[in-house]
Amino acid sequence: MISIATARAAAARHGITFLMGLASGLPLLLTGSVLQAWMTDAGVALDAVGLLALIGIPYTLKFLWAPLLDRFELPFLGRRRGWLVLTQLLLASLIVVLALSDPGFAPLTVGIVALGISFFSATQDIIIDAYRREHLPEKELGIGSSLYTYGYRTGMLFASGGGLMLADSIGFRATYLTMAALLGFCMLVTLMAPEPGAQRPAHPQSWRDTFLDPIRNFMTRPGAVWLLLFILLYKLGDSVAGNLTTPFYKSLGFSNAEIGATVKIFGFWPLLGGIFLGGLVILRIGIYRSLWWFGLLQMLSTAGFIWLNHVGHSITVLAAVVSFENAAAGMGTAAFLAFMAALTDKRFTAGQYALLSSIMGLPRVVISAPGGILSEAVGWDGFFLICTLAAIPGLMILWYFRQWRDIADSPKR
């Protein structure tokens, strides 16, 4: 029987996890779709607006400076909260600077400030990922990953949908100031949160040790290369397929309004439901078995696009396929994030998790790029069949290394 005090402590931990997820998701689209809309309205040339995609580079390179956040500690609030408060303060300050800028008059300045926001946003992600790993008990990593992702998606929704609606009524400048204030609220959460008591690494003997120790530590474990390969492959098919879904919908005759209402708005709720349900299932059957079952669901959901291709223009079938795909992706993401967290050594949490999450993002950022060439060569049926089959190598690795259940579901230091 769980005591009231234990239940309250767990609720407090997961409330912090959700709000930190919101803080992570909030800045992402402030330098993406919202900034694109502001610069377009300000009359900035389309080629310059297109270059905003480069602002996301820090998210793919964050593993380069993550080890510094493991090794060094500021003289206030502890290793995690000290860095997090400083990062959030700088992040909110740069959002205010961006709000007071004029993209029509000085687009280059706006781009530089946005790049700074992206850098500190990626740094915030590093620290929050490490905090979640160290703050949550092993058995709560699954539900914690779900609530973090839930908060992350909520923050993205606030910034994108909420930000664009606010911009229509109060203008972009006031909208960005509002988002900076919301991030200030997240800073209060950081100040009130407890500092996790993780084991600290020894003081670095050299800069080389600072950056190599997390990698050495990870690579000494049995099957380390296979673990990295699994992280690369687990969501490969899902990521490559998702990169081209909008052109696919358009090819079937769906309008922008139909895609927006069905895929973006209606499909958002099955995604959140899948994330939350995934966390509950992980609590019951563990991370390893959840990875297996959710991976199969992701594979089947990708095959659903083949069905949609044969049915053609049908809002009902579109809603069904998108709901299944989003729910399966949400469950798979919850288990995957929990598994990566379980892999990290608490002495090198920030560096190792940043490395693993960067590898996880490769299919979405790099491998998906030639997907358009593939779809033109083999057609939509062939493309989605290949994406479906692309899930098999990751599942085979997971099945072969059944001993990984000891990594995922057993208590560690």
Q: Looking up tokens 């009902």, which residue turns up?
A: 316
Going from the C-alpha of 399 to that of each of 260, 296, 392, the distances in angstroms are: 38, 12, 10
Decide: 17 and 136 in contact? Cβ < 8 Å. Answer: yes
CA distance 21 to 32: 18
User: What pLDDT is recorded for position 120?
Assistant: 93
User: What pLDDT is recorded for position 349?
Assistant: 73
Q: Looking up tokens 């290949």, which residue turns up?
A: 386
User: What pLDDT is recorded for position 413?
Assistant: 43
Residues 209-258 pLDDT 10s: 666 777 777 778 777 888 888 888 888 888 778 767 777 887 888 876 77
Which regions in the chain score pLDDT beneath 70?
1-2, 33, 46-53, 161, 198-211, 243, 256, 260, 264, 361-372, 404, 406-413
The fold of the 204-412 domain, in CATH, is Growth Hormone; Chain: A; (1.20.1250)
Residues 58-86 pLDDT 10s: 887 888 888 888 778 888 888 888 999 99
CA distance 317 to 3: 46
CA distance 91 to 48: 23
User: What pLDDT is recorded for position 39?
Assistant: 79
Decide: 408 and 339 in contact? Cβ < 8 Å. Answer: yes
Each domain of the chain, given as residue ranges in start order, spans: 1-195, 204-412
The fold of the 1-195 domain, in CATH, is Growth Hormone; Chain: A; (1.20.1250)
Domains 1-195 and 204-412 are alike in CATH topology: yes
pTM of the model: 0.71
Decide: 337 and 149 in contact? Cβ < 8 Å. Answer: yes
User: What pLDDT is recorded for position 412?
Assistant: 47
CA distance 53 to 67: 26
